[in-house]
Amino acid sequence: MKRMLLAFTVLLLSVMAVFAQGSAEGAADDGGLIRVGIINNDPNESGYRTANDADLKRVFNEENGYDASFYYSLRNDEQIAAAQLFVQDGVDYLLLSAAGTAGWDSVLQDAYDAGIYTILFDRTVDANPDLYVAEVVSDTNLQGQTAVDWLASQNLDEYNIIHIQGVMGSSAQIGRTDPLNAMVEANDNWNLVTQQTAEWNAETAQQITQAVIDSGTPFNVIYAENDDMARGAVAALDRANISHGVGGDVIVMGFDCNKWALEELLAGRWNYDGQANPFQADTIDGIIRDLENGIEPESKTIYLVEQGFDAATITQEDVDKYGI
């Protein structure tokens, strides 16, 4: 009994510590500042998230006229609880990147009733669209389509593709997989040598690629749904002395535009990297400025501009500007 109590206490303390960390960055009293409550996923989750968080912090600070409170969690229920607190606190805007899509109706309704504008960014939720003013999101399907179109433009006689997927069911995975699947379906000279999930993990991607190499099946394209997995696949190619990149036997494609990945592109070791734009703060800032002046956004869903980089055309400037 005593032991359980102790265990429970420790658990409680650690949970409280997480909460304390979340709310410690809370706001002071404002002096004409716009109060925003920002709920995001943990910046440690990925390089993308780190860049996203840094971008938000760059824009939403006192210098720019904002009094911003940040809350991070990878758990939906914790995020909802934090949103409730922000609503009670009476923030002016609620910026939300939800960990999960479900369960948001009631808290968004509360925010709406309290006259708080909710802006979704990066991830959308399953709720009545009337409850939020805008969603600033990536069109992952477009990311995939851009990449597949680029690949088609290479005019290979035959496409034998190793397709390494992200965590199954995630929006990035679905958006980057579907256009490729459609293309393979439609064209006889497009084949999937293998299609497996490496769950965003470089090492698993290496093993998947290694398994294809060991089997002796010919292939000429690596289509990896993020940079880490492309790196893993390339490690397997290097081990087997298979040339890749510009002028090589195998075309390497990745996503997310990590700085190091764009450098691989610049060096000609990879061929293509698709952007997943984490820089949403300026767009959100624009929406808020408009709302402050009484202008509602024209459309509810605002897609970020995202491009794909080709090793043949990429410049150092692109690397510095778009690398995350």
Partner 1 sequence: MSIDKTPSIGLQKASGLFRRQIFIPLAALIVLILFNLIADPSFFEISYGTNSAGNPVLSGYLITILDNASELAILAIGMTLVTAASGGQDISVGAAIAISGSVVLRVLCGDNPRPDEMQASILTAFLISCVVSMLFGAFNGTLVAYFNIQPMIATLILYTAGRSIAAWINNNRLPIISDPSFGYFGTFIPGIPIPTPIFIAIICMAIIALVLKFTTLGLYAQSVGINPNSAKLNGINPAFIKFITYVIMGLCVAVAGFIKVTRFSTINYSVVALDIEMDAILAVALGGNALSGGKFSMVSSILGAYVIQFLTTTLFKFNVSSSALPAYKAVVVIVLVVLSAPTVRETLKKAWNRLRAGSPARKEA
* First and final C-alpha spacing in the chain: 50
Cβ contacts of residue 197 below 8 Å, gap of 6+? 164, 165, 166, 167, 168, 173, 204
Site residues (CB under 8 A) for partner 1, limited to 208-267: 208, 210-211, 213-216, 228, 231-232, 235, 237-243, 258, 260
CA 139, 144, 149, 150 torsion-angle sign: positive
CB nearer to partner 1: give 67 or 122: 122
CA 246 to chain centre: 27
Q: What residue type is assigned to position 146 of the chain?
A: T
Query: Which backbone phi and psi does 36 adopt, to 5 degrees?
Result: -125, 140
Regarding 30 and contact with partner 1 (CB under 8 A), the answer is no
Regarding 124 and contact with partner 1 (CB under 8 A), the answer is no
Region of residue 199 (left: phi > 0; alpha: psi -120 to 50; beta: else):
left
Site residues (CB under 8 A) for partner 1, limited to 199-218: 199-203, 206-208, 210-211, 213-216
Encoding tokens for residue 81? 């609880």
CB nearer to partner 1: give 119 or 198: 198
Regarding 12 and contact with partner 1 (CB under 8 A), the answer is no
* Least distance CB 316 / partner 1 (angstroms): 15
Size of the site for partner 1 (CB under 8 A): 47
Cβ contacts of residue 229 below 8 Å, gap of 6+? 164, 166, 198, 200, 201, 202, 204, 205, 254
* Least distance CB 290 / partner 1 (angstroms): 32
* Least distance CB 114 / partner 1 (angstroms): 32
Regarding 11 and contact with partner 1 (CB under 8 A), the answer is yes
Contact positions vs partner 1 (CB under 8 A): 3, 6-7, 10-11, 14, 18, 42-47, 50, 165, 168, 194-197, 199-203, 206-208, 210-211, 213-216, 228, 231-232, 235, 237-243, 258, 260
